[in-house]
Each structure stands twice: as C-alpha cells, then as structure tokens.
Amino acid sequence: MQAVQFTEHGDTDVIEYGEFPDPEVGPDDVLVDVKAGALNHLDVWTRRGLPGLDLEMPHIPGSDAAGEVVEVGDDVRAFEPGDHVAVSAGVYCGECEFCRHGEFPLCKEYHILGEHVRGVHAERAALPAKNLVAVPDHVDWTTAAAAPLVFQTAWRMLHTRADIESGESVLVLGASGGVGHAALQIAAEAGCEVYATASNEEKLDYARDLGADHAINYEAEDFAAQIRDRTGRRGVDVVVDHVGAATWSDSLKSLAKGGRVVTCGATTGGQPQTNINRIFWNQLTVLGSTMATPGEAEDALAKVWDGTFEVHVRDTLPMSETAAAHDLLENREGFGKVVVIPDEEH
C-alpha cells in the first residue's frame, strides 16, 4: 500500500508518500480502507520531534481518518465489512485504576495514534475496534475524517473539565484552528456568551457565523484589555487556551474572579511565566484536558453527524502533497481543518 511516512525528524522535506507493508489484522482489529485523513498540529510536532518521543521508524503520521471497513478480526462484533467508520485516536489499556473508573485519558499507558505510534495517513489501516466510531452513511468522508480529534477534545474541555453552564461567558483563543472552531460551537450550543479571537477579519467573520457573540483581532488588539472593557472589567468565566506561552498571562488576566482556564496544548511553548498571585487572589482554577472518553467522543460526534456542529475544511490535498498540508498548518493559513486523500481516491 501507499502511505505518508518519514524516517527522521525535521522540516517538511522529510515527508514521503510511498510503499509501505500492508497492515496485519489481529483478532481485535478492524481493517479500514481509508478514504480521507485530517491533519492536526500534533502531526507537525511529531514530525519535528518531541522531547522524549521515541518512534518506530519509518513513522506513519495521522490521528484522524475515516473510511470503509473491509475486514474484521475474529473477536470483533461491533463492525462488519461495508460499515463507515472514523478513527478515535486515544489508545488506553482498559485495566488500570483510571480505566476502571472510566477516566481513559488518564490511563497510565495512554497514547495517541499518529503521535506515539504509527498513525492512519495511509491507504489502509488496521486498528483496534475500540478506536473506531460508527459514521452514518450520509456523512461525507472529509467531515468524518476531520471531526473526531478536535470535537472530542473540545467537548471534554468544556463540558467535562470546565463544566460550562448556560449563561456563562467563554473566551476561545485561536478560533480559526481545529480545536478553536469546535470549542466555539460547543460553547455557543450550550447557551454561553462566546468571545473569540483570530488573526484577521475573514477568520473573525467566520467565527461570528459559527456562533461567536464577540470577535477580537488579537493581531490588532490586546485581547485581555478588550475582554476587560467589553465585560465591564468583570472578565469571563472560562478561557479555552491551547496556545500556551504566548497567551497564558493574558488568559489569566481575562478571567473573572473564580474563573477557570482550560488547556489541552501549548502551540507556542509549554513553560509560560505565571502570576501565581493572580491565581490565588482571584481564586482561579487551572484545568488540563486531553482527548476524551469514548462516551464523550460519541456525544460530541453525534452533533457533528446530525449537523448541529459544522466541521470547516479549509483545503483538501492528495496524500502525496502532505508536506504542503503541513505548511498550511505551520503558516496558519485559512480557517479550520486540512484534509488529505489517498492519491487513488483524490
């Protein structure tokens, strides 16, 4: 089969699209004919090389994909050939103390397909059945591929970790990205007043179309100052920050007393300076979040499949042009997700 792959970490020139051995199907696995894959920023970080990351080379990237089941292992009962499925990339043991209590993202052996082990940007992928979710036949492949990681991540951040309520105010940073545009819609659908930041007016207009009540151009304005001004110096109840060092201080400044900031990543760096005085004096809560449980993923994706939430795809490229797809992410071009299609399907 053909697969996106790299044999060393580096810039986009390390990415190749070529022959790779066909996957083997174990008793608990499902063989999927991949129709589309989607990129996330973790694909960029994995390709560059994360501290402590020890990958089996060649590495196939990709945590998001969708396709048709072509074969199932002997012990699989949930799927059969012909089913449409999407990948849910979190892998867990199912046996540790956290898994026994349903907190799968806290599993001691938790890892993510495409980041810690070989991923799914290939013509075919053999995956544990528990890492697949059913997709209704009416949902197109690009939507099915682009939705799972970002919508389950944003759903857990807001509903499980931050426990948002109708009437609260939520600031979503980087609303033009995958997690950002998912979080914006989830907060709006929950009845929250949504503030969104993006880098230009085109992105802000689209954020408004998705449900943002207020839009702030962070390139032209100090978003923390704007939040204080627009809320009568109160601040917001919740900040969704997946940006990291570049925004962390202003995220804390944007919170109301008793507010909470929830984070799932740190695109600009994971070691920001923190004003601890502000945290204890204003009694702020800092919440971490990673991926989601199977139930949370199903809840979030059900609202994608029925059209409640929109997955915006900024561009679709053949898998042989995955390097260009990485460039789109790194250069922050456009709004929403980038999808790659196996060349034979494109």
- Residue 75: what pLDDT? 96
Share above pLDDT 90 across residues of the chain, in percent, rounded to a whole number: 85
pLDDT digits (tens, 9 = 90+) for 64-117: 999 999 999 999 999 999 999 999 999 999 899 999 999 999 998 999 999 989
Please say whether the beta carbons of 345 and 186 come within 8 A. Answer: no
Is the pLDDT assigned to residue 333 strictly greater than 80? no
On the question of a cis peptide bond just before residue 58, with omega within 30 degrees of 0, the verdict is: yes
The answer, yes or no, to whether residue 346 has pLDDT greater than 70, is no
Residues 172-183 as b or e (16 or more Cβ within 10 Å = b): bbbbbbbbbbbb
Burial 218-239 (b: 16+ CB within 10 A, else e): beeeebbebbbeebeeebbbbb
265-285: pLDDT as tens digits: 887 788 888 999 999 999 999
Domains and CATH numbers, the chain: 2-147+311-341 (3.90.180.10), 151-288 (3.90.180.10)
Measuring CA to CA, which residue among 210, 215, 178, 183 is closest to residue 315?
178
